Chain A
Amino acid sequence: MSRPLEGVRVLDWTIWQQGPVSTMMLADLGAEVIKIEERVGGDPGRGVMSVAGAMIGTSSGPNFYFEANNRHKKSLTLNLKTPEAREIIYKLVEKSDVFVQNFRKGVADKLGLGYEALKKYNPKLIYASATGYGPFGPDSAEPSFDYMGLARSGIMTAAGEPDHPPLAITGGIADQMGAIILSYGILAALIARDKYGIGQQVDSSHLGSMTALQGLNVSCKAMLGAEFKRTLRAAAPSPLWNHYQCGDGKWICLAMPQQDRYWPDFCKVLGVQHLEKDPRFDTMGKRAENAKDLVPLLDKVFASQPRDHWMKALKAGGDFIYTVVNSIDDLMRDEQMLTNDYIVEYDHPRIGQTKIVGFPVRLSETPGDPRGAAPEFGEHTELLLTELLDYSWEDVARLKEAEVI
Chain B
Amino acid sequence: MPKPLEGIRVLDWTIWQQGPVSTMMLGDLGAEVIKIEDRVSGDPGRGIMSIGGAATGAAGNRNYYFETNNRHKKSITLDLKQPEAKAIIYKLVEKSDVFVQNFRKGVAGRLGLDYQALSQHNPKLIYASATGYGPDGPDSGEPSFDYMGLARSGIMNAVGEPDMDPLSITGGIADQMGAIMLAYGVMTALLVRERYGIGQEVDGSHLGSMMALQGLNLASRLTLGKEFRRAYRTKAPNPLWNHYKCGDGKWLCLAMIQADRYWSGFCKTLGIQHLEQDPKFATMTVRGKNSEEIIAVIDQVFASQPREYWMNALKHGGDFIYTLVNTVNDLPDDPQMLVNDYIVDYDHPSWGPSKVVGVPVRLSKTPGDPRGVAPEFGEHTEQVLIDLLGYSWEDIGQLKEKEII
Contacts and interface: CB of A to CB of B under 8 A. Distances in A.
B148 interface: yes
B363 interface: yes
Contacts of B360: 181, 204, 208-209, 211-212
B83 interface: no
Give the interface centre of B54, B67, B175 by most chain A CB atoms within 10 Å: B54
Contacts of A338: 137
A64 B329 contact: no
B331 A153 contact: yes
Interface string B363-388: 11110100000000000000000000
Nearest to A177: B213
Interface string B348-368: 000100111110111111101
A318 interface: no
Tell me if A's interface is mostly helix, strand, loop or mixed.
mixed
Contact of B214 (A134, A176, A190, A233): A176
Contacts of B321: 142-145, 148
Contact of B145 (A257, A329, A366): A257
A191 B223 contact: no
A218 B68 CA distance: 10
A158 interface: yes
B310 to A, nearest CB: 14
B204 interface: yes
B328 A21 contact: no
A208 B358 CA distance: 8
A134 B55 CA distance: 32
B208 A364 contact: no
B212 interface: yes
Interface string B25-42: 000010000000000000
Contacts of A215: 21, 68, 172, 176, 357
Given A169-B159, A177-B213, A328-B158, A159 B327 contact: no
A254 B143 CA distance: 11
Contacts of A355: 222-223
Interface in B325-342: 325-332, 334-340, 342
Contact of B200 (A192, A233, A363): A363
Interface in A266-292: 288
Interface residues of A, number: 152
Contacts of B354: 222-223
A152 B198 contact: no
Interface stretch (A195-203, A380-388, A391-399): A195-203
B326 A151 contact: yes
A166 B251 contact: yes
Contacts, number: 556
A154 B324 CA distance: 10
B191 A5 contact: yes
Contact of B4 (A2, A182, A191): A191
B288 to A, nearest CB: 7
Contacts of A220: 51, 54, 56, 64, 171, 328
B192 A222 contact: no
Interface stretch (A32-40, A76-84, A106-114, A237-245): A237-245
Nearest to A127: B364
Interface in A226-259: 226-231, 233, 237, 241, 243, 245, 251, 253-255, 257
Nearest to B321: A143
Contacts of A288: 53
Interface in B303-334: 319, 321-332, 334
A328 B155 CA distance: 7
B211 A342 contact: yes
A88 interface: no
A361 B181 contact: yes
A196 B2 contact: yes
B300 interface: no
Interface in B197-243: 198, 200-205, 207-209, 211-224, 226-231, 233, 237-238, 241, 243
Contacts of B326: 151-154, 157
Given A147-B253, A157-B328, A233 B54 contact: no
B217 A241 contact: no
A185 B176 contact: no
A202 B335 CA distance: 21
B295 to A, nearest CB: 13
Interface stretch (B86-94, B160-168, B271-279): B160-168
A214 B342 CA distance: 12
Nearest to A145: B255
Contacts of A203: 361-362, 364
B399 interface: no
A218 B221 CA distance: 32
Contacts of B254: 147
Contacts of A230: 168, 170
A68 to B, nearest CB: 4
> Top 4 closest A-B pairs, CB basis?
A217-B171, A171-B217, A134-B340, A340-B134
6 contacts: A151-B326, A153-B331, A171-B227, A181-B360, A319-B143, A362-B134
Given A155-B173, A201-B365, A217-B172, 13 more contacts: A5-B188, A52-B228, A145-B321, A154-B330, A168-B243, A216-B171, A223-B67, A237-B52, A251-B156, A323-B152, A328-B228, A339-B134, A362-B202
